[in-house]
């Protein structure tokens, strides 16, 4: 597509990157077909092609108001559009740029600003989150039913393996997941222990940076990213096989470190090194021989592959393949490419659209009456659980429970 950037963005790194992406879009509209918000709202402005056009306009006129911002806000960053685009348009990256620029042009309402600030302060802080989740559980009986369903049930992480294997990988401890479902990482450690791999967790490693970064606070996001790089680097230098992530939302962000720090002389190389090592748990276990796990596969599973796993990390099949190979019966699921509406902080910031997509997703997941729904990301897990009676688990917990 033709572009004519405003002088302010010409000859800047950001402008050049945005322009390359804009120029790769040929305006065919294929992406609208798989975009959840376009499917729901049928408005060009709420589809990827229209959003690309709006971002182009911001960079060409150097002007934008809340009218444009609304449509960028409504984007889930699910990146289904990217997977559909034959021309290879890096929409996710363009959106980050667009959101960053528009944040300098508009001023959100005070209430909104406060809410966003709180999210950025609270979610990434593990200890704080642990306490908040406890507090919420304690107050749960007093809450309205709709809110009650959003509080994760209490979980005990169980016994952790102590054996040290020669095969070692790092495990992202994370923030929200560590607080809400501590059993996920524990289960990952136990299952991998049975497969002869030790997972190491580094306490200093915290939030992957996605919370701030996707709320258009790139500075805040990068703060967390640098912290993690610094904490991991010594071990990476000693040699680890991989950095394993059990929450694909974080995995997608971590895989992006290399690109985000591309022009940072102090971090470029390390960030690229880290991104290179990032692996989703399903890929790690998928590469191993599962016979040793002796799984009980009697349950029929509906698999929800998170957008971050299928679209951002490009692992469309890793999870289903693994579960099939393990011997599970997989339920028929429609519209696998569509987002469940969780999308990081989206469910909190855009509750209406989020709920619409949740209902649609639950319908698609339960049509074939599964015993369980399994997924691979904490956000999706909690969100789905709030919308269905069918139990929702992280798949690694299932493997952990059913292997003897």
Q: Give the number of other CB atoms < 10 A from CB of residue 243.
A: 26
Site pattern 290..309 for another protein (x: CB under 8 A): --------------------
**Among 42, 104, 363, 367, which residue interacts with another protein (rule: CB under 8 A)?**
42
**Among 86, 141, 219, 239, which residue interacts with another protein (rule: CB under 8 A)?**
86
CA-CA distance, 148 to 145, in Å (whole number)?
A: 5
Return the DSSP state at 140.
Answer: G
Q: Does 346 bind ligand SF4 (CB under 6 A)?
A: no
Q: Does 85 bind another protein (CB under 8 A)?
A: yes
| Residue 264 φ then ψ, to 5° | -100, 110
Return the DSSP state at 286.
Answer: H
**Which CA distances in Å does 49 have to 28, 172, 283?**
8, 34, 32
CA-CA distance, 352 to 355, in Å (whole number)?
A: 5
**Among 25, 260, 301, 331, which residue interacts with ligand SF4 (rule: CB under 6 A)?**
25
Pull the structure tokens for residue 262.
């591309």
Edge-to-edge order in the sheet of strand 278-280: 197-201, 167-171, 243-245, 278-280
**Among 79, 99, 189, 226, which residue interacts with ligand SF4 (rule: CB under 6 A)?**
79
CA-CA distance, 401 to 404, in Å (whole number)?
A: 8
Q: Does 26 bind ligand SF4 (CB under 6 A)?
A: yes
Q: Does 116 bind ligand SF4 (CB under 6 A)?
A: no
DSSP string across 141-201: GGS-HHHHTTSPPP----PPP-PPPSEEEEE---SHHHHH-THHHHHHHHHHHHTTEEEEE
**Among 10, 65, 104, 106, which residue interacts with another protein (rule: CB under 8 A)?**
65
Nearer to another protein, 21 or 207 (CB): 21
Report, in Å, the least distance between residue 82 CB and another protein.
Answer: 12
**Among 64, 97, 123, 295, which residue interacts with another protein (rule: CB under 8 A)?**
64
Nearer to another protein, 82 or 397 (CB): 82
How far does Cα 153 stand from its chain's mean position?
21
Which H/E stretch holds residue 302? strand 300-304
**Which CA distances in Å does 335 have to 80, 311, 362?**
11, 14, 11
Q: Does 49 bind ligand SF4 (CB under 6 A)?
A: yes
Site pattern 19..38 for another protein (x: CB under 8 A): ----xxxxxxxxxxxx----
Which H/E stretch holds residue 372? strand 372-375
Report, in Å, the least distance between residue 91 CB and ligand SF4.
Answer: 6
Nearer to another protein, 84 or 403 (CB): 84
**Among 3, 17, 23, 30, which residue interacts with ligand SF4 (rule: CB under 6 A)?**
30
Q: Does 31 bind ligand SF4 (CB under 6 A)?
A: yes
Q: Does 29 bind ligand SF4 (CB under 6 A)?
A: yes
Pick from another protein, ligand SF4, none: which does 101 bind, CB < 5 to 8 A by kind? none
Beta bridge partners, 392, equal: 373
Residues of this chain that interact with another protein (CB under 8 A) are 1-4, 23-34, 42-45, 49-50, 53-54, 57, 63-65, 67-68, 71, 84-89
Instruction: List contacts with ligand SF4 (CB under 6 A).
Output: 25-31, 35-37, 48-49, 51-52, 75-81, 84-85, 87, 89, 91
């Amino acid at each position: 597509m033709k572009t004519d950037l405003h002088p302010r963005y010409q000859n800047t790194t950001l402008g050049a990157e945005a322009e390359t992406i804009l120029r790769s879009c040929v305006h065919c509209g294929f992406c609208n077909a798989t975009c959840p918000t376009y499917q729901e709202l049928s408005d060009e402005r709420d589809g990827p092609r229209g959003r690309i056009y709006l971002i182009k306009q911001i960079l060409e006129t150097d002007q934008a108001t809340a009218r444009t911002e609304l449509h960028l806000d409504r984007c889930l960053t699910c990146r289904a559009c990217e997977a559909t685009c034959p021309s290879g348009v890096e929409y996710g990256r363009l959106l980050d740029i667009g959101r960053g620029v528009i944040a300098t042009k508009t001023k959100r309402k005070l209430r909104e600003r406060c809410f966003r600030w709180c999210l950025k302060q609270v979610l990434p802080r593990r200890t704080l989150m642990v306490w908040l989740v406890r507090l919420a559980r304690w107050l749960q009986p007093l809450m309205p039913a709709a809110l009650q369903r959003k509080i994760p049930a209490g979980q005990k992480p169980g016994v952790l393996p102590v054996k040290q294997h020669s095969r070692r990988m790092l495990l992202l401890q994370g923030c929200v997941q560590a607080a809400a479902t501590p059993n996920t990482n524990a289960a990952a450690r136990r299952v991998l222990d049975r497969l002869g791999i030790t997972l190491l967790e580094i306490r200093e490693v915290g939030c992957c940076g996605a919370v701030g970064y996707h709320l258009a606070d790139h500075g805040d996001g990068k703060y967390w990213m640098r912290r993690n790089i610094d904490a991991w680097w010594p071990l990476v230098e000693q040699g680890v096989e991989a950095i394993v992530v059990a929450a694909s939302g974080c995995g997608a962000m971590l895989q992006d470190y290399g690109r985000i720090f591309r022009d940072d002389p102090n971090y470029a190389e390390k960030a690229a090194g880290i991104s290179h090592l990032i692996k989703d748990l399903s890929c790690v276990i998928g590469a191993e021989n599962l016979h040793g796990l002796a799984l009980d596969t009697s349950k029929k599973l509906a698999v929800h592959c998170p957008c971050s796993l299928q679209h951002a990390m490009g692992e469309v099949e890793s999870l289903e393949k693994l579960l099939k190979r393990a011997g599970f019966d997989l339920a028929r699921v429609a519209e696998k490419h569509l987002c469940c509406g969780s999308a990081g902080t989206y469910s909190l910031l855009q509750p209406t659209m989020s709920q619409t997509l949740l209902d649609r997703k639950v319908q698609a997941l339960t049509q074939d009456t599964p015993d369980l729904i399994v997924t691979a990301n904490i956000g999706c897990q909690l969100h789905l659980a709030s919308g269905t009676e069918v139990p929702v688990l992280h798949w690694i917990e299932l493997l952990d429970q059913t292997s003897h």
